[in-house]
Amino acid sequence: MANWEELRGRCMACRKCALAETRTNVVFGAGPRDAEVMFIGEGPGENEDLQGEPFVGKGGQLLDEMLSLIDLDRTRNFYITNIVKCRPPHNRDPLNTEQDACIGYLEEQIDLLKPKIIVCLGRIAAARLIKPDFKITREHGQWFRLEDGVWRMAIYHPAALLRDPDKRPDTFADLRALRAKIREVCTRTY
Ligand code: SF4
C-alpha cells in the first residue's frame, strides 16, 4: 500500500482527466493524517484552486466556524478533502467520468486514514459515498453503515448554507448528532 507522501506526489502530478488542463493547483486534502473523522466534498472551488487547500473560501470559513462549535478543528482532529482534486471550471458539478478518474486517490486516502466516521458535504459526495439516489433534503443527518463498518452521514454543502441560511438550523442539529457519534465510536478526537 502507498504511504501518504507517495500518494500525495502521484496526485499532485496527475493528468488523468481534463480538469488538469484548467486547474491552478491540485487540492489534495488537509488535516492530521491520523484523524478519526473525515469530511469529503465534491471538488475544489475558485479559492481552493488558487490556494491549493480545501474549503478555504467563504463556505469553508462558515464550515470551520460551525465545526468549532462541536470542538472540531482541521489542524487538530479532522481531515478534509474532496471527491475530485482539481477544480471543475465555473464550479460546475464534477462529471461522472472525472469522479471515476479521481476516486482512486480518495479511496487510498481512506485506506491510509482508516476513519471511524465519514461526513459527506452535499449531495454529490453522498451519492458517491453513501448511495447513488441519496436525497440530501430528506436524508441529511441520518447515519449509514456500509460493509466497511465506517459510519457515514451527509450534511448540506457549506455553499448551500451560504445561499440559504434557513438550512443552518438543520445542520446544527446534524452536527450535534455527529458530536454524539464521535463520543460513541472515536477514542482520540475529543
Ligand atoms: S481531478 Fe483527479 S483525476 Fe483529474 S487530473 Fe485532477 S487529480 Fe487527476
pLDDT band at 106 (very low <50, low <70, confident <90, very high): very high
Whether the predicted pLDDT of 2 surpasses 90: no
The pLDDT of residue 1: 64
Q: What angle do CA 77, 159, 156 make, to 5 degrees?
A: 65
For residue 11, the ligand 1 atom closest to its alpha carbon is 7
Quote the pTM value: 0.98
Q: Fold for 4-184, please state it.
A: Uracil-DNA Glycosylase, subunit E (3.40.470)
Residues with Cβ within 8 Å of residue 99, at least 6 apart in sequence: 83, 84, 128
33 CA to middle of ligand 1, Å? 21
pLDDT band at 162 (very low <50, low <70, confident <90, very high): very high
pLDDT per position as a tens digit, 124-145: 999 999 999 999 999 999 999 9
Give the residue, by CA position, lying nearest to ligand 1 atom 4: 17
Which of 1-5, 15-19, 69-73, 97-101 is predicted least confidently?
A: 1-5
The proportion of the chain whose per-residue pLDDT surpasses 90, expressed as a percent, equals: 98
14 CA to middle of ligand 1, Å? 6
23: its cell numbers: 486547474
For ligand 1, is residue 159 a contact (CB within 6 Å)? Answer: no
27 CA to middle of ligand 1, Å? 10
The domain limits of the chain are 4-184
